[in-house]
Amino acid sequence: MGWLLSRIQARDIRQHLELLAPHLEEAGRRQTDPDLVVTNGLSMARTREEATTRFQNSMFTRRMDVVSEVSSPGSGTALKPSEDMTKHFVGTADDVIE
């Protein structure tokens, strides 16, 4: 059993697990049963600008935006998932390491 989390900060995983806990208990599972996979975008280049352009023009960003709209139609969020760079690793190698 697994759970694929997209566009989530590591610090927020516990909160999401707490929301899942009652459903796991109802199914006779423990909170430690699911394997967790967190997906975030990665784009590295010699400059931050080049990495950002590559990221924004990738298939990954278009897919994220489509999935977000299908999952939460008309949610009215200020940014599309592909525009929220706080949840992705984009920039130079030093930026990504930081």
Model pLDDT for residues 33-69, shown as the tens digit of each residue: 888 887 778 899 999 999 999 998 988 888 877 877 7
Instruction: Identify whether the C-beta of residue 29 lies closer than 8 Å to the C-beta of residue 37.
Output: no
Are 86 and 51 contained in the same domain?
yes
Are 58 and 35 contained in the same domain?
no
Taking the CA atoms of the chain, what radius of gyration do you get in angstroms? 16
Q: What is the pLDDT of residue 76?
A: 57
Instruction: Identify whether the C-beta of residue 95 lies closer than 8 Å to the C-beta of residue 55.
Output: no
User: Domain containing 52: what range?
Assistant: 40-98
Q: What is the pLDDT of residue 22?
A: 93
Are 51 and 66 contained in the same domain?
yes
Are 75 and 93 contained in the same domain?
yes
The structural domain count of the chain equals 2
At a CB cut-off of 8 Å and minimum separation 6, what does 25 contact? none
What's the burial of 64, exposed, middle or buried (CB within 10 Å: 0-12/13-18/19+)?
A: buried
Are 21 and 64 contained in the same domain?
no
Q: How far apart are CA 25 and CA 70, in angstroms?
A: 28
0.95 exceeded by pTM: no
Are 9 and 45 contained in the same domain?
no
Are 45 and 93 contained in the same domain?
yes
Are 46 and 82 contained in the same domain?
yes
Are 4 and 47 contained in the same domain?
no
Are 46 and 71 contained in the same domain?
yes
How many residues make up the chain in this entry?
Answer: 98
